[in-house]
Amino acid sequence: MWFTLSYLAWGISAALVLWMLFDWFKTDTTYSEDVLTSSREGELEAVAEEHRV
């Protein structure tokens, strides 16, 4: 039984890795690089915080 579980673990891992690679490829080909890397640090702070004590 334990050997079956071990093979199952390899199988599930391979399936999930393939899914992530597929989704990565799909995402990168659907959206532009500018959109994907558009996150900026401190957005909330810049908008909401004025730092007046």
Q: How far apart are CA 4 and CA 35, in angstroms?
A: 44
Give min distance, CB of 45 to other proteins, in A.
Answer: 6
DSSP codes of every residue in 1-51: -HHHHHHHHHHHHHHHHHHHHHHHHHHHHHS-HHHHT---TTHHHHHH---
Q: Is 29 in the site for other proteins (CB under 8 A)?
A: no
Q: Is 19 in the site for other proteins (CB under 8 A)?
A: yes
Q: Is 27 in the site for other proteins (CB under 8 A)?
A: yes
Contact residues for other proteins, defined by CB under 8 A: 2-3, 5-10, 12-13, 16-17, 19-21, 23-24, 27, 30-31, 33, 35-47, 49-53
